[in-house]
Amino acid sequence: MTGTWSFVRAYLRRDRWMLLWWSLAATLLYWSQAVSVDGLYETQADFDRAAASMESNAGFVAMTGPARALNTIGGQVTWQSAAFGAILAGLMSMFLIGRHTRAEEESGRDEMLRAAAVGRQSTTMAAFVTALIANSVLGCLVALSLVAYPLAFADSLALGVGVALCGIFFSGVALISAQLTSTTRAMYGLTGGAIGLAYALRAVGDVGTPALSWLSPIGWYQAMHPFSGLRWWPALLLVAASVGAAATAYAVFLRRDYGSGVLAARAGPPRAASTPDP
């Protein structure tokens, strides 16, 4: 692991603006829902009627998640923001991991770094640590924005912790994808597919097959029930899955050949396409 922290500092300095905008976008997603809902309904009776109509709409449930405490500002923030916040954190993690692992290896820059007095695992470990820091900052900003609104501290903290853990889990998935594939495009495709699958499982599960929601990290996040009977134990599922994904990526990394992925790259066309006669 020699040189890992030097790489972490370099990655954070290189990505500081990218991480800032991703974190602010996620924070705005949550905070803006609180502002818009708070100013939308003049009376609690109006709020209750609107919430009742939303709860019975299967399309809304599939898109955003299980309907809980929709006649409260916190319940609306959780319902409208949690699933999309997890996707934002996942995409940020995917691009961050890809930029510092598969893209560097594909371009040859990682080989130059490895020629220095650094450990073989240092660049990969530094990429994961950078993603940990980035998602922790994102989660802190989300929680602080809701506490400052103000909403209940514990539930606001749960929303921040949950979205950070989702991002960390997808960081592990991105690391696995970087070991399985040999190109950055394939790595993004595989990780993006995993994020889409997590969202689809949660959507189908929330509409009619609840067991499927428990196969999705986004479903675990929403199962923490912020602002509607908070419970912390589903966060342990995210922690365990994140550790498992990171450990799997590390084990595959130690066994694959540098410069290639575990999955064989698709062969190109057997010959160049002929140019038609003018």
Predicted local distance difference test score (pLDDT) of residue 240: 97
In a domain, 276, yes or no: no
Would you tell me how many other CB atoms lie within 10 Å of the CB of residue 181? 23
In a domain, 269, yes or no: no
Predicted local distance difference test score (pLDDT) of residue 229: 92
**Mean pLDDT, rounded, of the chain:** 88
Q: Provide, rounded to the nearest whole percent, the portion of the chain with pLDDT above 90.
A: 61
In a domain, 273, yes or no: no
Predicted local distance difference test score (pLDDT) of residue 38: 83
Residue 215, pLDDT > 90, answer: yes
Tell me: the pLDDT tens digits for 129-145?
A: 999 999 999 999 999 99
Q: Is the pTM of this model over 0.75?
A: yes
In a domain, 63, yes or no: yes
DSSP 8-58: HHHHHHHTHHHHHHHHHHHHHHHHHHHHHHHHH-SSHHHHHHHHHHHHT-H
Tell me: the pLDDT tens digits for 11-69?
A: 999 999 999 999 999 999 999 999 988 888 878 888 888 888 888 888 989 999 888 99
Question: Residue 60: exposed, middle, or buried by beta-carbon count in 10 A (0-12, 13-18, 19+)?
Answer: middle
**What span, in angstroms and rounded, lies between the C-alpha atoms of 54 and 183?**
43
The domain in which residue 194 lies consists of: 4-255
Residue 85, pLDDT > 90, answer: yes
In a domain, 55, yes or no: yes
Q: For 176-183, what is the mean pLDDT?
A: 90
Residue 195, pLDDT > 90, answer: yes
Which of these, 164, 189, 186, lies nearest to 22 by C-alpha position?
A: 164
In a domain, 274, yes or no: no
Q: Give me the number of domains the chain comprises.
A: 1
In a domain, 262, yes or no: no
In a domain, 261, yes or no: no
Which of these, 246, 7, 19, 9, lies nearest to 134 by C-alpha position?
A: 19
